[in-house]
Amino acid sequence: MAAMHERPFDLLNKAVGQQVLIRLKNGTDMRGKVQSFDVHMNIVLENCEELEETGSVRTKLGTILLRGGNILFISPA
């Protein structure tokens, strides 16, 4: 029997309400709770924080919209 493969949107659906780490193409790391996303992978994060390279909080941003074209990867935080 073939293994079931999850599609990217299945994984994003599971991430709604969960905290994630997102790296942007410019190297910036953002951490926050996924509120919603769309087909372009634009993501709304709440309680978002921009992180230093060491992982410490640089700036607390609150609720933000990240444009999908700027996202390099998304990982559980």
Domain ranges of the chain: 11-76
pLDDT at position 46, please? 98
Residues 54-66 pLDDT 10s: 989 999 999 999 9
DSSP symbol at 8: H
Q: Name 2's Cβ contacts closer than 8 Å, sequence gap at least 6.
A: none
Amino acid, res. 1: M
The architecture CATH gives domain 11-76: Roll (2.30)
Residues 2-27 pLDDT 10s: 557 888 888 899 999 999 999 999 99
pLDDT at position 4, please? 72
Residue 1 pLDDT exceeds 70: no
Positive or negative: CA dihedral 10, 14, 16, 18: negative
pLDDT at position 3, please? 56
pTM of the model: 0.88
